[in-house]
Homo-oligomer: A and B are copies of this chain.
Amino acid sequence: MGKHMFSAAERSAVYKAIFNRRDVRGEFLPDPVPDEVLGRVLNAAHHAPSVGFMQPWDFMIIRSTEVREEIHGLFNKAHAEAAEMFPEEKRETYRNLKLEGIMESPLNVVITCDRSRSGPVVIGRTHMEWMDLYSSVCAVQNFWLAARSEGLGVGWVSIMDPDALNKTLGLPESVVPIAYLCVGYVSKFHDKPELEKAGWLPRMPLDEVIHFDRWGEKGRDLDFLEKIRQQMN
Contact = CB atoms under 8 A, between A and B. Distances in A.
Q: How many A residues touch the partner, as a band?
A: 35 or more
Nearest to A215: B170
A14 B13 contact: yes
Interface string A86-125: 1100000010010100000000000000000010010111
Copies in the complex: 2
A193 interface: yes
B215 A171 contact: yes
A52 B118 contact: no
Given A23-B49, A158-B127, A210-B59, A227 B39 contact: yes
9 contacts: A4-B20, A21-B49, A36-B227, A46-B209, A58-B210, A59-B211, A60-B211, A60-B213, A137-B141
Interface of A: 2, 4-6, 9-21, 23, 35-36, 38-40, 42-44, 46-49, 51-55, 57-64, 67, 78, 81-82, 85-87, 94, 97, 99, 118, 121, 123-128, 130-131, 133-134, 137-138, 140-142, 144-146, 148-151, 156, 158-162, 169-172, 175, 178-179, 186, 188-189, 193, 195-196, 200-201, 203-204, 206, 209-216, 221, 223-224, 227-228, 231-232
